[in-house]
Structure 1
Amino acid sequence: MASRKGALAPGLPDPIHDSQRIFRCALTALSEPGRVLEVPVSLEATCRQLGAGVGPAALGLILALADGDTPIWLDRTAASVATFLGFHTGAPLADTHGAARFALLADPAAGPGLPSFDPGSLDYPDRSATLIIEASRLASGGQIGFSGPGIPTRRYLTIEGLPKGFVAEWAVNHAQFPCGVDVLIACGNRIVGLPRSTALEILCM
């Protein structure tokens, strides 16, 4: 259970302007998939105070994106920051995966798969869920290829800590376009955008 102390941990230093800066960073990440970006606000001290398994980039994203009209779903690791997020964002907790507009997966290997979340509909594709997934490693160059709109040719990344079968699930998600979930991958204070319009491939070495 989240503690009262956790609720009183500081959120964004300048909530209005920091939210805007992080929001722009998230938009850039989703419009330029596969580009590793540094989140412009550091919440490392807050993460240490919370003592949770949620990194500063992931925490900053959910603080900037969620509000009282966007139900959030938290996995078991991220559930320790539920009181904190409720205090700072006013966002309600979703009762089910499918009801969430945002989901925070701090331990993605133990979490539900992509099909558990709302892909939107042909009438309202913008109402799909956005997942914030913690990775254990994120770096430019590697075996995971990104291609699609916003990418000149291809971008290659190293991403460790994604659930087993993620790439296969992503292929199904990508095929639903214009429906489908969007993903922001976070590691430390860095993020990478993975919108539904992006295709993934694994290079064979």
Structure 2
Amino acid sequence: MSIDIISAPFENPIHDAQQTFRALLSATSRPGTVVQLPLPRATPSPFTSALCSIALTLFDDTTTVWLDDALATKDVLRYLRFHTGATIVAEQSDAAFGVMADTRDLSDFGAFSVGDATYPDRSATLIVQLPSLTGGAEVTLAGPGIEHTTTVSPTGLPEGFWHWWNRNASRYPCGIDMIFTDGTAVMGLPRTTKASF
């Protein structure tokens, strides 16, 4: 890994992290809305700029993170440890955040913590790299943060994903939350959102 990547997170770390947090808050409070992120100057392959922005904003030394095999490279691990101090875990059930680029792992997102009736906030958030947030089969979303309904069309999700998602939503107040990214922007999918297709 280039020393430039290690030493170059955000151009303006405090401002850009604040802007990224606001963008993530906007995306998760308005499910299905595509929101652009501030992007760092350099990234460790195969982590995209958006994944780095999210990590630099949400991860710290109290955070447990699971990476799929496609992302768990030496360069990515070094970057995350250097810039965030996050603990990388081997088991999905131990992770506060799961980060994945191989969407086949989404067939088993029930392996992540969904919280419990007493502590539903102890569930995981999955951050998923997709080819695009538009251009796929249309799906209608409804739930809090959506006035009536909204239509989304992310590409790269495995067959059956939306069925699995609705089962997750039916567990509310337990369940996982998701953030989709195409490398530069994000789309939030909180557990309160239901899909029809």
Q: With structure 1 as the length reference, what TM-score do the two structures score?
A: 0.88
The residue correspondences of 1:1-205 to structure 2 (distance < 5 A) are 3=1, 5=3, 8=6, 10-39=8-37, 41-43=38-40, 45-47=41-43, 50-52=44-46, 54-80=47-73, 81-110=76-105, 113-139=108-134, 143-202=138-197
Aligned structure 1 segments of 4 or more residues deviating by more than 4 angstroms: 3-7
Shift of 1:142: 5.5
Q: Give 2:36's aligned amino acid.
A: E
Instruction: Evaluate the alpha carbon distance shift between residue 162 and residue 110 of structure 1 in structure 2; reply closer, same or farther with a 3 A threshold.
Output: same
Deviation at 1:112, TM superposition (A): 5.7
How many residues end up aligned between the 2 structures? 195
Whether the 8 Å CA contact 1:32–1:151 is kept in 2: the answer is yes
Tell me how far apart the structure 2 counterparts of residues 10 and 76 of structure 1 sit (CA, whole Å).
25
**Over the residues paired in the alignment, what is the CA RMSD in angstroms?**
2.0
Return the alpha-carbon distance in structure 1 between the equivalents of residues 107 and 63 of structure 2. 19
- Farther off after superposition, 154-163 or 139-148: 139-148
Asked if the contact 2:100–2:128 (Cα under 8 Å) also holds between the matched residues in 1, the reply is: yes
1:155-197 Cα deviation digits (max 9, x unpaired)? 1111111133211111111010001000000002111000000
Are the equivalent residues in 1 in contact too, given 2:136–2:154 (CA < 8 A)? Answer: no
Identity rate, percent: 34
Structure 1 unaligned spans of 5+: none
Does the 8 Å CA contact 1:109/1:161 hold for their aligned counterparts?
no
- TM-score, structure 2 length as denominator? 0.91
Q: Is the 8 A contact 1:6 1:84 kept in 2?
A: no
Q: Which amino acid aligns with 2:145?
A: G
2:158 alignment partner AA = P
Change (3 A) 1:109 1:67: same
Gaps of 5+ in 2: none
> C-alpha distance in 1, partners of 2:5/2:77?
8
